[in-house]
């Protein structure tokens, strides 16, 4: 751990000196009104107004941008009652890939595959505005069980014993973006330029409530996709998921927690909760290993850890500097849809930090329980 010399309330676990634009963004965040503590994770990188890989704690104010637009985004991992060898040939891998496109689309379901209704946990709690309620029954239903684009993925992996595991990364889809934009229009601008809501006001309470609903939506979205993958495995291999192994966590949220003897609003944007013994999933890039972990409860990190490897190249730079050939070389031995190679060059392994360096940088924050290597990587289109 290190401390930012310009801000006594900023603790950092980093793999390398921070770029100047990241440092400036963190300083702006740390100096924003009512920000008491900041913890910077080793996967930190620039992302809009607030960097991914940051955790802040406030007394009374809520900063929606310190949660981000994809509220509730997170990870799910569950073991399959199957050997990873079933994906050792191109025919099996191709069938599974085609099935993933059909059962876990990136954008929305075809009408013939629409869920009948939202889960009860989502239906029973109203959102704070009628416009959001309209979106809930329209976009919310169409997008439940869909992957999204960018760095969201479904991956099939092998553990050291050769057992097949499912891992997926997705969030709250269009609902999270719409809810964030709705509440950003109601924020007060701090001198730093970041908008905030007072948690004790009706506006602040409405955001907190809507954010909790959206986090539940994101979790139900991942569970719906996991069940769709299970149906695919049953169809092709007559097997099921071992739900007793489920690890389910999210890394974009704000919630009330006790730290340093105080009740604080803890915002995590691209950071995993890591209380003592708390299970979590930390993915590498789509060509690198991933980890199942438990937290160590490090107080100065606000009981948090990284949520992944973190980008080392911005998307536009990755697209300019990484060729299709280089992507294919970096993905050697991993099944993926090569028809999409040009479209996903910005997701190449070299666009991300070395996950092993990231894990070493946060030894104080997590314990590694299991290491997995990718077998098949699916990204939406």
pLDDT tens figures, 20-53: 999 999 999 999 999 999 999 999 999 989 999 9
- Measured from the Cβ of residue 372, the count of other Cβ atoms closer than 10 Å reads 24
Based on the residue annotation, tell me whether 307 is a catalytic residue of this protein: yes
**Is residue 148 predicted with pLDDT exceeding 80?**
yes
Q: How many helices and strands, by DSSP H and E, does the chain display?
A: 9, 18
Closest by CA to 99, choosing from 111, 113, 82, 115, is 113
Average pLDDT value for residue range 246-272? 98
Q: Is 350 among the domain residues?
A: no
Structural domain for 16, as ranges: 2-336+365-378
Q: Which residues contact 104 (CB under 8 A, 6 or more apart)?
A: 145, 146, 147, 154, 225, 228, 229, 378, 380
Give the burial class of 129: count Cβ atoms within 10 A of its Cβ; 0-12 exposed, 13-18 middle, 19 or more buried.
middle
- Would you list the DSSP string of 10-29? EEE--SSPPPHHHHHHHHHH
Tokens read off for 72: 């509730």
Query: Is 356 contained in some domain?
Result: no
In this prediction the pTM is 0.95
How would residue 9 be classed by pLDDT, with cut points 50, 70 and 90?
confident
| Per-residue CA distances from 12 to 18, 25, 37, 237, 295 (Å) | 10, 14, 11, 46, 17
Give the whole-angstrom CA distance, residue 56 versus residue 64: 12
Q: Is residue 358 part of a domain?
A: no
Kindly state whether residue 344 falls inside one of the protein's structural domains: no
131 lies in some domain: yes
What is the band of 4 on the pLDDT scale with cuts at 50, 70, 90?
A: low
User: Who has greater pLDDT, 142 or 8?
Assistant: 142
- Find how far residue 239's CA is from the centre of its chain: 28
pLDDT beyond 60 at 261 = yes
CATH of the domain at 200: 3.90.1860.10
In a domain, 238, yes or no: yes
Please tell me the total count of domains within the chain.
1
Find the catalytic residue in 182, 267, 292, 307: 307
Q: Quick check: is 62 in a domain?
A: yes
Q: Domain for residue 348, yes or no?
A: no
Mean pLDDT, the chain, as a whole number?
A: 94
């Amino acid at each position: 751990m290190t401390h930012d010399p310009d801000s006594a309330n900023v603790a950092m676990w980093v793999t390398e000196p921070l770029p100047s634009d990241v440092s400036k963004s963190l300083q702006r965040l740390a100096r924003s009104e009512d920000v008491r503590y900041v913890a910077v994770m080793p996967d930190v990188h620039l992302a809009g107004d607030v960097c991914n890989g940051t955790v802040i704690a406030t007394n009374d104010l809520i900063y929606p941008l310190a949660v981000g637009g994809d509220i509730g985004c997170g990870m799910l991992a569950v073991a399959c009652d199957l050997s990873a060898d079933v994906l050792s040939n191109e025919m099996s891998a191709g069938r599974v890939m085609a099935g993933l496109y059909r059962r876990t689309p990136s954008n929305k379901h075809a009408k013939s595959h629409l869920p009948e209704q939202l889960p009860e946990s989502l239906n029973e709690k109203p959102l704070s505005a009628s416009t959001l309620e309209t979106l809930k029954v329209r976009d919310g239903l169409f997008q439940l069980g869909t992957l999204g684009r960018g760095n969201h993925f479904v991956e099939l992996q092998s553990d050291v014993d050769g057992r097949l595991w499912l891992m997926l990364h997705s969030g709250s889809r269009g609902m999270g973006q719409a809810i964030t934009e709705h509440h950003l229009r109601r924020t007060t601008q701090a001198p730093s330029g970041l908008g905030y809501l007072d948690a004790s006001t009706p506006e602040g309470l409405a955001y907190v409530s809507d954010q909790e609903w959206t986090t539940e939506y994101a979790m139900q979205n991942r569970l719906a996709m996991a069940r769709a993958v299970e149906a695919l495995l049953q169809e092709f291999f007559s097997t099921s998921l071992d739900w007793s192994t489920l690890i389910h966590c999210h890394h974009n949220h704000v919630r009330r927690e006790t730290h340093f003897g105080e009740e604080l609003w803890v915002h995590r944007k691209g950071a995993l909760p890591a209380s003592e013994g708390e299970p979590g999933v930390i993915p590498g890039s789509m060509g690198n290993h991933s980890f199942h972990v438990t937290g160590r409860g490090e107080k100065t990190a606000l009981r948090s850890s990284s949520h992944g490897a973190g980008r080392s190249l911005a998307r536009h730079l990755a697209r300019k500097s990484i060729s299709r050939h280089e992507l294919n070389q970096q993905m050697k031995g991993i099944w993926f849809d090569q028809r999409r190679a040009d479209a996903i060059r910005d997701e190449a392994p070299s666009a991300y930090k070395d996950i092993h360096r990231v894990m070493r940088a946060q030894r104080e924050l997590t314990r590694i329980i299991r290491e997995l290597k990718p077998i098949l990587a699916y990204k939406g289109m």
